């Protein structure tokens, strides 16, 4: 209850503290936060990465250029043990993608293939569209309704601060294609898993269920999905005319390709004290430049670790993990775990939810970590960050570590705008607010400094 009663004070402090950190924080944290609030390292990182490299799709030469770029930048920033750790992975690449309504209301639709989509013939396919308002409706459909037709599945996802609705509504993308394929559909179109109203469709990975033959699978931009829904209603009103769509998607698998993680370290003074992993992913979808997903996360973690390093060498080692191939199924996370699982990991964190401000901190700590959690929460309060009541979950690139029992902290970012941009061509530098980016660096530097120097045994 005390936490709740003191919230207004914490908020009042936070409004002041962007320039004058709360006096209650330990001196080094106050100094770190002040430096973070003037940080330009994170901005320069994500600006240069998106400008000089751009999109970094997993398994491609562009992702490799991203690794080279990151190795050079992290060395220039003064980190130790900077290196790429290569592995190979099966690689899917986008091809042509066009769609148009042929009848009864001919017009172009803007689509983008989902990850691992099958291909149409080179000159496309044409079929009738069958509409399903939700994934449950698709699942309930009799197979004969879909045979040789194009399933079109919608949903009602809206923006949330914590991004929690992505799990639920994202099922349309993750499972819709396999369900439609099992029922004999010729292809599937989904309403983009997004909360914007721009003609920039949202891609994203989906995995074919065991034994399913891949079909062409694509997302319509939200305005196109709404237009197609209106067409279907209008066609129904005009005597039930079928709505026919011509679709061309020519993505393909190009076999096993080189991918890799990038590692950099702030070596701790006490090798026995264990490693803190600060993660993000370096790969991105191909449509945007991977600014908010996840150039920003790598920029935040790197800038924060560097601030801690410049301040005073910490007791524990802070290891940056800029993972590869996150977007297409966590190949980098598994490669990291396979190579490093025997090392003593005592804490993991990931930044992979854009660049808007951190508003909540969650922990998954053993009982012995409670005092540290309390110190961290108190030190974050001046930044306007409140302690949550749910256990932390971590991100995809630290998932194997978390599954193996490594403690985790989530610095939850404001996701209200995230799914406007996520996995679209609009994921570009201009979407990042430099002031909110710096608040992330301050929060991360606070957590890394306190955790790397804490006496508590976390594991």
Which DSSP string corresponds to 363-421? Answer: EE--GGGHHHHHHHHHHHGGGT-EEEEEE----GGGHHHHHTT--EEEEEEP-TTHHHH
Q: Which does 426 bind (CB under 5 to 8 A by kind): a second copy, Zn ion, none?
A: a second copy
Question: CB under 8 A: which stretch of 103-111, 131-139, 162-170, 181-189 binds a second copy?
Answer: 103-111
Tokens encoding 52 = 């000089």
With respect to a second copy, which residue has the nearer C-beta, 288 or 415? 288
**Binding to a second copy in span 63-102, by CB under 8 A:** 65
Query: Is residue 159 a contact residue for a second copy (CB under 8 A)?
Result: no
Q: What track of x and - describes contact with a second copy for positions 371 through 410 (by CB under 8 A)? A: ----------------------------------------
Q: What is the DSSP letter of 332?
A: H
Among 323, 425, 443, 450, binds a second copy (CB under 8 A): 425
Least gap, CB of 30 to a second copy (angstroms): 34
Least gap, CB of 354 to Zn ion (angstroms): 9
Least gap, CB of 114 to Zn ion (angstroms): 13
With respect to Zn ion, which residue has the nearer C-beta, 352 or 414? 352
Are 184 and 148 in contact by the 8 Å Cβ rule? The answer is yes
**Binding to a second copy in span 197-256, by CB under 8 A:** 197-200, 222-223, 226-227, 230-231, 234
Query: Is residue 145 a contact residue for a second copy (CB under 8 A)?
Result: no
Among 281, 423, 431, 438, binds a second copy (CB under 8 A): 431
- If DSSP codes are grouped into helix, strand and coil, which group holds residue 166? helix
With respect to a second copy, which residue has the nearer C-beta, 100 or 334? 100
With respect to a second copy, which residue has the nearer C-beta, 25 or 53? 53
Are 181 and 212 in contact by the 8 Å Cβ rule? The answer is yes
Please state, in angstroms and rounded to a whole number, the distance separating the CA atoms of residues 263 and 275: 13
Are β-strands 345-350 and 275-281 bridged in parallel, bridged antiparallel, or unpaired? parallel
Question: CB under 8 A: which stretch of 15-23, 71-79, 320-328, 419-427 binds a second copy?
Answer: 419-427
Token pair 């914490």: residue: 10
**Binding to a second copy in span 34-63, by CB under 8 A:** 47-48, 50-55, 62
Query: Is residue 107 a contact residue for a second copy (CB under 8 A)?
Result: yes
Q: Which does 267 bind (CB under 5 to 8 A by kind): Zn ion, a second copy, none?
A: none
Contacts of 396 by beta carbon, 8 Å cutoff, 6+ apart: 281, 326, 330, 333, 350, 352
Q: Which does 352 bind (CB under 5 to 8 A by kind): Zn ion, a second copy, none?
A: Zn ion
Please state, in angstroms and rounded to a whole number, the distance separating the CA atoms of residues 244 and 274: 60
The continuous run of DSSP H or E covering 279 comes out as: strand 275-281
Q: How far apart, in Å, are the Cα atoms of 450 and each of 249, 369, 371, 375?
A: 50, 12, 11, 8
First to last CA, the chain: 29
Nearest residue to 278 via CA among 406, 458, 385, 376? 406
Site for a second copy, rule CB under 8 A: 47-48, 50-55, 62, 65, 105-108, 110, 197-200, 222-223, 226-227, 230-231, 234, 288-289, 424-426, 428-431
């Amino acid at each position: 209850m005390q936490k709740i009663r003191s919230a207004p004070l914490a908020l009042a402090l936070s409004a002041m503290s962007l320039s004058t950190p709360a006096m209650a924080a330990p001196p080094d944290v106050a100094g770190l936060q002040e430096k973070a609030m003037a940080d330009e390292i994170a901005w320069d990182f994500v600006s240069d990465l998106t400008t000089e490299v751009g999109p970094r799709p997993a398994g491609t030469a562009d992702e490799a250029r991203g690794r080279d770029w990151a190795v050079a930048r992290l060395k220039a920033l003064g980190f130790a043990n900077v290196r790429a750790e290569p592995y190979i992975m099966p690689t899917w690449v986008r091809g042509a993608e066009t769609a148009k309504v042929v009848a009864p209301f001919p017009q172009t639709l803007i689509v983008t293939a989902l990850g691992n989509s099958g291909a149409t013939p080179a000159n496309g396919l044409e079929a009738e569209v069958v509409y399903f308002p939700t994934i449950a409706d698709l699942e309930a459909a009799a197979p004969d309704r879909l045979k040789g037709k194009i399933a079109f599945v919608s949903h009602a996802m809206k923006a949330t601060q914590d991004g929690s609705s992505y799990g639920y509504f994202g099922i349309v993308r993750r499972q819709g294609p396999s369900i439609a394929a099992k029922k004999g559909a010729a292809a599937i179109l989904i309403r983009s898993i997004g909360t914007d109203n721009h003609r920039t469709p949202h891609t994203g990975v989906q995995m074919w269920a065991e034994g399913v033959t891949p079909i062409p699978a694509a997302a319509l931009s939200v305005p196109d999905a709404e237009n197609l829904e209106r067409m279907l209603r209008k066609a129904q009103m005009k005597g039930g005319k079928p709505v026919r769509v011509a679709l061309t998607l020519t993505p393909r698998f190009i076999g096993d390709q080189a991918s890799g993680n990038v590692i950099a370290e702030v070596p701790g003074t006490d090798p026995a004290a264990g490693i803190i992993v600060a993660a993000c992913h370096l790969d991105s979808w191909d449509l945007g430049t991977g600014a908010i997903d996840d150039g920003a996360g790598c920029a935040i973690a790197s800038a924060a670790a560097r601030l801690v390093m410049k301040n005073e060498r910490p007791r524990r080692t802070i290891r940056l993990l800029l993972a590869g191939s996150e977007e297409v199924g966590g190949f980098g996370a598994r490669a990291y775990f396979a190579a490093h699982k025997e090392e003593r990991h005592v804490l993991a964190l990931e930044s992979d939810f854009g660049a808007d401000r951190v508003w909540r901190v969650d922990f998954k700590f053993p009982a012995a970590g409670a005092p540290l959690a309390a110190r961290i929460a108190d030190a974050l309060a001046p930044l306007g960050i409140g302690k949550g009541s749910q256990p932390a979950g971590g991100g995809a690139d630290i998932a194997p570590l978390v599954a193996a029992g490594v403690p985790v902290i989530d610095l939850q970012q404001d996701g209200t705008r995230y799914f406007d941009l996520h996995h679209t061509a609009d994921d570009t530098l201009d979407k990042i607010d430099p002031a909110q980016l710096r608040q992330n660096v301050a929060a991360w530097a606070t957590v890394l400094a306190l955790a790397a120097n804490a006496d508590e045994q976390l594991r």
